[in-house]
Homo-oligomer: A and B are copies of this chain.
């Protein structure tokens, strides 16, 4: 009989809901060596936690995350809070010997992230970063193609992450607008994804130079006549050099009028090219430069075949999946790792590496020059 893994979730808003959904679904579609149990959910407002708990089957609703960490039953602490709480919760959880899953960005800066990394390594607990877009069938297929040499030497990786929810100047101040709480704005929230994908698909970064902007400098404070100052970036763009010689350009913005959750990357190699767009996440465009001459072109692969990653668990070809499925896929790996006591990927190491790139971008924007990514090796 399969083992239970008790989950303690901290944070019950957007990501709390997405993770709850994944825990509740994963065993229905994937054969796992253990069974995630929705043990305790924790959030700031009890009624909100109770609603989530009732909907998704969390056995306990709490408002103090320490209770989850202190619980002897809980195997995994899942951190879905605002970014300023990632480090304190992770440090305490590691100390208590809990396995940890953490939402991206890992922390407000690399200093915090490294402390978290050290803590989980000292404690010897399984640790994983949510970089859920690695777990899209189309992206995992892209990774397979690259690993099989289909793209050749990679020269360009250009990625954008476009949203537009800050175009409206009457959109009120939230924690994401405050550097203190979030570390950064679009940068940490959105560039974290495409930086991780770049590391996954291309390799390590060497140096970056970036630019950050706040276009709307004041926003109304909710339930108030006053305005508050926005100091977290609305948009951050940067160029990058990779260690393998490729170059890249990256742009994250919440001011891309008309784009809702448009994350696109283009990868050009000596033998082929790949294009992916999150708003059509079931599709991967692939150009095979080694194919028959007269019929070359970008092929739109509908990544819904049983042979494509993760798809066999779902529906027949052409019956597309959605954004939420990425969490189910990632959590299937996490549960397996915990059950098998194996390292999970992407781990806190990947979180630190991503954060070092993000921090270098911020430094480069301040200094107006290229900044080399700090070295950081696995223990």
Contacts and interface: CB of A to CB of B under 8 A. Distances in A.
20 contacts: A144-B294, A155-B255, A164-B268, A237-B239, A237-B249, A255-B268, A256-B266, A257-B269, A257-B287, A279-B282, A280-B320, A291-B291, A294-B307, A297-B300, A297-B301, A314-B324, A315-B324, A320-B323, A321-B324, A368-B369
A307 B279 contact: no
A259 B144 CA distance: 22
Interface in A269-327: 269-273, 278-282, 286-289, 291, 293-302, 304-305, 307-308, 314-325
A304 B322 CA distance: 11
Contacts of A266: 256
A300 B301 contact: no
Interface in A144-185: 144-145, 155-156, 158, 160, 162-165, 167
A298 B295 contact: no
The CB with the most chain B CB atoms within 10 A, among A162, A167, A301, is that of A167
Contacts of A297: 258, 286, 299-302
Interface stretch (A78-86, A95-103, A118-126, A209-217): A209-217
Interface in A213-259: 213, 215, 235, 237-239, 241, 245, 247, 249, 251, 253, 255-259
A3 interface: no
A257 B261 contact: no
A14 B237 contact: no
Contact of A293 (B286, B307, B323): B307
Contacts of A300: 297-300
A320 B279 contact: yes
A277 to B, nearest CB: 11
Contacts of A288: 295
A28 interface: yes
Contacts of A145: 295
Interface of A: 14, 18, 21, 24-25, 27-29, 55-56, 141, 144-145, 155-156, 158, 160, 162-165, 167, 209, 211, 213, 215, 235, 237-239, 241, 245, 247, 249, 251, 253, 255-262, 266, 268-273, 278-282, 286-289, 291, 293-302, 304-305, 307-308, 314-325, 368-370
Contact of A317 (B260, B281, B316): B260
Contacts of A268: 162, 164, 253, 255-259
Given A209-B239, A319-B324, 8 more contacts: A14-B315, A24-B28, A155-B255, A239-B249, A260-B318, A261-B320, A279-B302, A321-B324
A302 B260 contact: yes
A223 to B, nearest CB: 20
